[in-house]
Amino acid sequence: MLRSVAMAEEIVDANAEFTAFVESCSDEEWRAICRAEKWRVGVVAHHIAWGHERAADWINAIRSGIPIPGSPQAHNASNAIKAAQVAGISRDEVVFLARRNAERLVAVMRSLSDEDFASAVPFGPARGRPLSIDGLGRSHLDRHLAQRGVNCAGTGHHPGSRSRASPWGVQRKGADVRWRPVAASTHARGVRPVP
């Protein structure tokens, strides 16, 4: 199987799991605050869904040799503004965005050649360090899940252990977890419910 097709299929699978989790969140879980950045679970979920679109844009820029402008501060400020704008976003809206934006990302991934994967450009949000296409795609979704790990139910469960839990550590009956990169750091960050 071509590398681009395999990566696209991973994104399809990961996004299906992600949207299933979003759809299954209770109102309390959706409003819980992720300790790392003080965003509600719904805002983090929107960030991930919106990230599919950003990743597609960045991949197109990388393969065209166009550096990604910005700085860590500008990137963080942009994320904070977006987080404030979507503070009351619904699960249905996030699922719609995740599916729509993942379709675009998957199409971009499938269009890549092996030569495209060798491309790298300066990435402003990472202080200009080179970013390759391998650094995007599904890895954006997984990285944000790991960094903004959620343990809404307070179960003490460590996501990625393949037990019956959601990708964010909320115990679910019969759910299958395949979020390999999400590990102990997820549990350590946790969330607290918002009254």
Per the CB < 8 A criterion, the answer to whether 180 and 162 are in contact is no
Q: Which tens digits make up the pLDDT trace of 23-45?
A: 999 999 999 998 777 899 999 99
pLDDT band at 155 (very low <50, low <70, confident <90, very high): very low
Taking a C-beta distance cutoff of 8 angstroms, is the pair 11, 109 a contact? yes
- Report the C-alpha gap between 50 and 126 in whole angstroms: 19
Name the more confident of 84 and 145.
Answer: 84
- What is the pTM (predicted TM-score) of this model? 0.75
**pLDDT for residue 40:** 93
What CA–CA distance (Å, rounded) separates 53 from 94?
13
Which pLDDT belongs to residue 158?
31
By three-state DSSP, how is residue 79 classified?
helix
Residue 171 binned pLDDT confidence (cut-offs 50, 70, 90): very low
Residue 131 or 153, more confident: 131
pLDDT at 122 over 90: yes
pLDDT band of residue 167 (cuts 50, 70, 90) is very low
User: Over the chain, what is the mean pLDDT?
Assistant: 76
Q: Alpha-carbon distance 26 to 32, whole Å?
A: 10
Give the pLDDT of residue 153: 35
Q: Choose the weakest-confidence range: 2-16, 111-125, 127-141.
A: 127-141
Burial 102-119 (b: 16+ CB within 10 A, else e): beebbebbeebeeebbeb
List domains and CATH numbers for the chain.
3-192 (1.20.120.450)
How far, in Å, CA of 10 to CA of 70, rounded? 29
d(CA 40, CA 192): 10
pLDDT in tens, 134-154: 767 666 666 656 654 444 433
